[in-house]
Amino acid sequence: MEYKSIISFIGSEAELSGTLPKAIGFARQCEAHLTACLLGVDMTPAGGFYMGASPILLQETLERAQSEAEALESTARKMFEGQGVRWGAESAVVQFGGLPALVGLRSRFSDLVIQSRPYGPGTIATQEAAIESALFEGQAAVLVLPEGDLREDFGKRVVIAWNQSNEALSAVRRALPLLQAADQVSVLVVDPPVHSPERSDPGGLLTQMLARHGVRAEVSVLAKTMPRVSDVLMRHMDDVDASVMVMGAYGHSRLREAILGGATRNVLENARHAVFLAH
């Protein structure tokens, strides 16, 4: 499989300028079609308008969202011009509670969703919601881009965070085109369980599968010498100078990770490199 249909959901000017140029570069490299879905999101909570409230107020919020989406679409079309990539740009207006349905429907028919990092200064709530909606409602793979420009050697060195989970295996399968194009792939196993089926050869079955797809990978087994597994993952990325991490997303529930933390959320909050996710 190749990435031939890519989509990105964008809800602000800052997100547009930070995401679309890098998505265009990636789509050009893949010779893919890139669609930018420019969102106007009404953030009024469900039930926010009490019985008898003026319908004019509701209309005003929707019109504001519509004008924001149209402005983003106009800017996106200008950014696409002369970039040498097949593209489409469309605006969409939705209430925040309806965002999962919209993102899920559109991402379901795409090979890859490209989004910006959802945490940090200047981010908005729709960024996190779009990523989670693409993963869960759309069952799509998501490439979360880092801040700043993509490196010239982007994708040449890749780390796979391997914990034998269904989510991790799904991410590896979705990332095969990326892995096949890489020069170096490192399968990282942190503290493999003593009673694991792979205890005698951690990552061995995975590297065998990858080899049959033309991907040469090396296995690194590390101890959890830092407080969180995500810290070990990110340190290893720095050690091997990797530009992309492939990992399964939300092995625990989203609610648990939001309250107690988890590898997915911690990586998205702190990663300085791109993260390829699938659930």
Distance CA 213, CA 258 (A): 36
Inside any domain, residue 198: yes
Residues 123 and 173 in one domain: no
Total-model pTM: 0.92
CATH number at 205 reads 3.40.50.620
pLDDT tens digits for 70-118?
999 999 999 999 999 999 999 999 989 999 999 999 999 999 999 999 9
Residues 62 and 135 in one domain: yes
Residues 35 and 105 in one domain: yes
pLDDT tens digits for 36-53?
999 999 887 655 555 555
Q: Could you give the strand order of the β-sheet that contains 5-10, starting from the edge strand earlier in sequence?
A: 86-95, 33-42, 5-10, 112-116, 142-145, 274-278, 244-248, 157-161, 184-190, 217-222
pLDDT tens digits for 120-145?
888 999 999 999 999 999 999 999 99
Last residue of a domain, one of 145, 171, 189: 145
Q: What domain count does the chain have?
A: 2
Inside any domain, residue 194: yes
Last residue of a domain, one of 90, 111, 145: 145
Residues 71 and 29 in one domain: yes
Residues 241 and 216 in one domain: yes
pLDDT tens digits for 147-173?
888 889 999 999 999 999 999 999 999
Distance CA 259, CA 272 (A): 23
Extract the tokens encoding 91: 């605006």
Residues 9 and 123 in one domain: yes
Span 28-34, mean pLDDT?
96
Residues 44 and 77 in one domain: yes
By CB atoms closer than 10 A (0-12, 13-18, 19+), residue 55 is exposed
Q: Which residue reads 């040469």 in tokens?
A: 216
**Which one-letter amino acid corresponds to residue 32?**
A
Domain of residue 183: give its range: 157-278
Helices 125-136 and 99-108 pack at an angle, to 10 degrees, of 50
What pLDDT sits at residue 259? Answer: 47
Span 200-212, mean pLDDT?
93
Inside any domain, residue 87: yes
Residues 184 and 134 in one domain: no
What pLDDT sits at residue 253? Answer: 61
Inside any domain, residue 122: yes
Average pLDDT, the chain: 90
Residues 127 and 175 in one domain: no
Higher-scoring residue by pLDDT: 21, 1: 21
Residues 135 and 186 in one domain: no
**Confidence at 181, pLDDT banded by 50, 70, 90:** very high
Residues 64 and 170 in one domain: no
> Which of 77, 108, 80, 103 is CA-nearest to residue 90?
77
Inside any domain, residue 150: no
User: Is pLDDT of 54 > 90?
Assistant: no
